[in-house]
Structure 1
Amino acid sequence: MTKYIYKLSPFLKETIWGWEKWVVSCHPNGPSIVDNGDLKGEALKDVEKFKEVFPILVKIIKADSVLSVQVHPDDEYARIHENSKGKTECWYILEAEKGATLISGIKKGLNKEKLRQIINDGKLEEELEETEVKPGDLIYIPSGTVHAIKGGLKLIEVQQNSDITYRLYDWGRGREEHVEQSLNVIDYTGENKGGKIENFSSLETPYFKVNKIEVKDTYKDSSKDGFNCFVVIDGEGTISCDKNSLKISKEETVYIPQGINYEIKGNLTLLKSNE
């Protein structure tokens, strides 16, 4: 494999609440496509031929209305019940209407039986924790965290490479719900320590790392320890290695295989993710 820097085209998924672009994806439900170099036109999953499963999935999500209230299992539960990886994720807020909120967690003092009764009584909405957010915030959503993106938000999501979601509540829209599976995997005590990170610069989880990179002139780095992915938050510039150079601008995405020294020039802000 030639050591190119690859620009990616996303897989677009339209939904009842808005849309999502799977901008770095080897998942069979929505692989992103390589735009250039020796792999032009191929699905990204073919880049990492030496790996059985690419470890992360990166999306851009635009919510015009609220998503379902949902929760994701951890690796052990997903392996046993879904033959899949679990799903820990985080959200970097790109755009937020004034006063915009999202759901991250449930009220303290609940357990499985209490929450089941609350759901049966139709009072779940009263037990959800809402968090006000603004552009630049990052929300960490470990597996087991009850969550929902609400309308008026646009964000970048970095997650484990999994498409397992249990829908706990859907605001009366009539879609399938997975109440018992959700009750089985919820983190009732908050021991996974998710939540909002204001003035975000970096996050390291057991599954991936995320960093906000500000480039005012030149930024040099290397992917010697593993692949790097970049989504442009704002601005424009170029990213180069000894094999090629690419122009990049807002919301464009690049994938850098392991073992490349690279340089970014321009005036731009990027979200970097890797293992």
Structure 2
Amino acid sequence: MNIFKLEPFYSEKVWGYEEWNLSTHKNGNSIVSGSDVKLIDELKNELPILIKIIQANEKLSVQVHPHDEYSRKYENDNGKTECWYILEAEENASLICGIEDGLDKESFAKIIENGSIEENLKRISVKKGDMIYIPSGTVHAIEEGLKLIEVQQSSDVTYRIYDWGRDREMHIEKSLDVIDYDGKNKGGKIEAFEKLETPYFTVEKIEVKDIYKDLVDKKFHVYTVINGTGVISDDNSVINLNKEETVYIKEGVNYSIKGNLELIKSYV
């Protein structure tokens, strides 16, 4: 097989749930559909990206992810740069992306200590179809009433700074170490999103009205369906595509997608 339809690794959370649609990470593997085979066992190697569907019924913690060097030194994992494509959003939905300008490690530590963090976070309004870029070092939180596709580095390292009164472990010192106070890696909403290129992955929005053809000239292509139905095929197989499903395509494969679909395409 050159194209694999995947079954997600499901993870229930206090705020909702995650489905790891594409994952070869040690903490959760997606499965090749129609079998009991883990994707990592089929591919024989780990992938550099991980793709999730996230349903936020309540606010996620205010958090930050480390860059590669810090994460590999202290967590034996990759750093985590990510992006979010909004699938569903309640009216007036928002999320947190960044802290107020001018703060440094010392001043932000005092803000955390005196309990005034909520007033020092940047919020942005979001709606269905928005794309938000979250480089490592960016303080962020998904808020309630949102469902999204997350494309990220293959990592499971999260440092919690604030958790809205929930009694969970915090990681204040590590968070203060890795926050990008100067905003060197600019995150935020991508206006008129069609393509996002990061140092770790590229994400495109693909619309198929009849037929779309491509060749995997990179290491792989991955598609996650935003809306619609159709099929993806090569010389050996035809696979149905439905909303929120993910398929992985091997290097060197010519393929076509037929139907009426919107998709997120990811590759490195």
TM-score by length of 2: 0.98
- CA–CA distance in 2 between the matches of 1:232 and 1:171? 32
Select the residue among 244, 249, 267 that pairs with 2:237. 244
Deviation at 1:199, TM superposition (A): 2.1
- CA–CA distance in 2 between the matches of 1:98 and 1:176? 31
Deviation at 1:207, TM superposition (A): 0.5
- CA–CA distance in 2 between the matches of 1:89 and 1:120? 28
Q: Is the 8 A contact 2:49 2:201 kept in 1?
A: yes
- CA–CA distance in 1 between the matches of 2:257 and 2:192? 23
- 1:151 maps to 144
Say if 2:28 is the partner of 1:33. no
Select the residue among 14, 17, 24 that pairs with 2:15. 17
Q: Is the 8 A contact 2:208 2:257 kept in 1?
A: yes
- 1:119 maps to 112
Matches within 5 A, 1:115-194: 115-194=108-187
Q: Is the 8 A contact 2:88 2:127 kept in 1?
A: yes
- 1:69 maps to a residue whose letter is V
Question: Which runs of 4 or more aligned residues in structure 1 lie more than 3 Å from their structure 2 counterparts after TM superposition?
Answer: none
Matches within 5 A, 1:37-52: 40-49=35-44, 51=45
- CA–CA distance in 2 between the matches of 1:169 and 1:210? 30
- 1:95 maps to 88
- 1:263 maps to 256
- 1:44 maps to a residue whose letter is L
- CA–CA distance in 1 between the matches of 2:256 and 2:15? 38
- CA–CA distance in 2 between the matches of 1:41 and 1:7? 13
Question: Unaligned regions of 5+ residues in structure 2, if any?
Answer: none
SS of residue in 2 equivalent to 1:126: helix
What root-mean-square deviation, in Å, do the aligned CA atoms of Structure 1 and Structure 2 show?
0.9
- 2:99 maps to 106
- 2:172 maps to a residue whose letter is V
Q: Is the 8 A contact 1:136 1:199 kept in 2?
A: no
Q: Is the 8 A contact 2:67 2:137 kept in 1?
A: yes
Deviation at 1:35, TM superposition (A): 1.1
- CA–CA distance in 2 between the matches of 1:263 and 1:63? 33
- 1:48 maps to a residue whose letter is L
- CA–CA distance in 2 between the matches of 1:198 and 1:225? 26
- Aligned residue pairs total 268
- 1:235 maps to 228
- CA–CA distance in 1 between the matches of 2:73 and 2:8? 31
Deviation at 1:174, TM superposition (A): 1.2
- The structure in which a higher percent of residues are strand is 2
- 2:234 maps to a residue whose letter is C
SS of residue in 1 equivalent to 2:230: strand
Deviation at 1:30, TM superposition (A): 1.1
